[in-house]
Amino acid sequence: MKHLKPIALGAALLASTAMSAQAEELHFIMCGGEVREADQKVIDTFIAENPGVTVNMEAVPWGTCQDKSLTLAAAGDPPSVSYMGSRTLRQLANNGLIVPANISDEAKGQYQDGVLNTVTIKGVQWGYPHAFSTKGLYINCDLVAAAGKECVAPKTWDEMYDLAKAINDNTDAAGVGLAGKDFDNTMHQFLNYLYSNGGVVIDPATGENKLDSQQTRETLAFYGKLVDVAQEGPTAWERDQLKDLFNDGKIGMYISGPWGRGQHKETINQLVVPVPAGPSGQSGTILITDSLAVFKGTGHEELAHKLAQALASGDAQYDLDSSWGLTPIMKYEELGVAAPYYKGDAFWEVFTGGISTGGPEPLVEDFKSLQSVFTNMVQGIILKEDTVDNLVTIAGEELDEAL
């Protein structure tokens, strides 16, 4: 593999040699409960190249990790760097707890389209994107065959519905798995459809609320239509539980990330295809990143930037993406990689094809409020509690309050 160019550090960071000679400890909180080998290699090299500097790695499970970083920062004892969901960046930035990421213009051009929108608030990047996921539609071809249909990719919502209805009506399985539980991936599942219909939630450049739209109404109406061919009681299910229904042959299709291939039974004859396009858009996907945030008030922010940049650029980032099986966060084929793991692979083309038409996980200060906006709207249509128009209007008003 040809070595990739690292993100430009800038004169201020290159001048940190004197600082490196002093005894300093960077406190690094890693959400997820483990430090991956690709990251550890970079950290070890960083320590070797900066005499006197140590990195105190603290791997914390996702359930408590983000709150821990926030609590420490609010108490005046911030970590130096934290790897966390990009959804937390707005809250941290609005409360003055982190500093903007130092991403050069050259480096910005290395990312896949839309990735930087996941860390951008009103034109400012607040984190270094470090892990990226997109979604595709998994289909059980044996159930499709049992329903008397050909197992080919549905291109449109109408084709997807017709396929799901055939499975629902002619087999013992439900046609499609829907998430409707009070959980964050209910919003994520809905956004896969919204972004495949040309919808926007928050304009990353202006921060303007764009949820109340024709595209959202069309998407919510389709979600409500799918309820009739979905598993019983979607409000009791979240995405990861749909995997179990798919493995048990109880649903014909559902949306998940590239990790789904390794989670499904080898006996399932599955087809993985792009999320079908809605009437007002092209096939898209939600673009979700986890990122490295540099905290304010540690006294060694420049050194923390240097570590974050080392982890999130060049060969280091490629090693993480390829070894972890992530959607490529950068355009590695343009950066000197002769045969990227995702090129020429029909499976990976599903997860890269919708990037340019996808949209980010919205950034708000109170993520739980954002989750409630979508949960209320989705559950409202699943349970037939109100009209599409009223539910979308209410959701737009609730999002205004969350912003």
Class (C level, CATH) for 136-284+364-402: alpha beta
Highest mean pLDDT among 310-314, 355-359, 377-381 belongs to 377-381
User: Percent of the chain scored above 90 by pLDDT?
Assistant: 87
pLDDT at 16 over 70: no
pLDDT, tens digit, 9 for 90 and up, residues 316-333: 999 999 999 899 999 999
Q: What is the pLDDT of residue 9?
A: 36
Neighbours of 108 (CB within 10 A): 12
pLDDT, tens digit, 9 for 90 and up, residues 38-73: 999 999 999 999 999 999 999 999 989 989 999 999
Q: What is the mean pLDDT of residues 276-302?
A: 97
pLDDT at 187 over 60: yes
Q: What is the pLDDT of residue 205?
A: 80
Q: What is the pLDDT of residue 20?
A: 39
pLDDT, tens digit, 9 for 90 and up, residues 195-231: 999 999 998 788 899 999 999 999 999 999 999 999 9
For residue 245, give both structure tokens. 């229904």
Q: How confident is the model at residue 82 (pLDDT cuts 50, 70, 90)?
A: very high
Q: How confident is the model at residue 14 (pLDDT cuts 50, 70, 90)?
A: very low
Q: How confident is the model at residue 21 (pLDDT cuts 50, 70, 90)?
A: very low
Q: Where are the domains of the chain?
A: 11-132+288-359, 136-284+364-402
Question: How far is CA 103 from each of CA 40, 49, 125, 292, rounded to the nearest angstrom?
Answer: 22, 21, 8, 12
User: Percent of the chain scored above 70 by pLDDT?
Assistant: 95
On whether the CB atoms of residues 258 and 325 are closer than 8 A, the answer is yes
On whether the CB atoms of residues 307 and 46 are closer than 8 A, the answer is yes
Q: What is the pLDDT of residue 365?
A: 87
Fold adopted by 11-132+288-359: D-Maltodextrin-Binding Protein; domain 2 (3.40.190)
Q: How confident is the model at residue 22 (pLDDT cuts 50, 70, 90)?
A: low
Among candidates 162, 136, 138, 134, which has minimal Cα distance to 150? 162
Question: How far is CA 313 from each of CA 27, 281, 291, rounded to the nearest angstrom?
Answer: 20, 32, 12
Q: How confident is the model at residue 272 (pLDDT cuts 50, 70, 90)?
A: very high
Neighbours of 334 (CB within 10 A): 11
pLDDT at 6 over 50: no
Q: For the chain, how many residues are written?
A: 403
Q: What is the pLDDT of residue 395?
A: 98
Q: How confident is the model at residue 23 (pLDDT cuts 50, 70, 90)?
A: confident
The chain-wide mean pLDDT, for the chain, equals 92
Domains 11-132+288-359 and 136-284+364-402 share a fold: yes
Q: What is the pLDDT of residue 202?
A: 93
Q: Is the pTM of this model over 0.85?
A: yes
Q: What is the pLDDT of residue 295?
A: 98
Q: What is the mean pLDDT of residues 106-127?
A: 94
On whether the CB atoms of residues 176 and 251 are closer than 8 A, the answer is yes
Q: What is the mean pLDDT of residues 114-121?
A: 93
pLDDT at 18 over 60: no
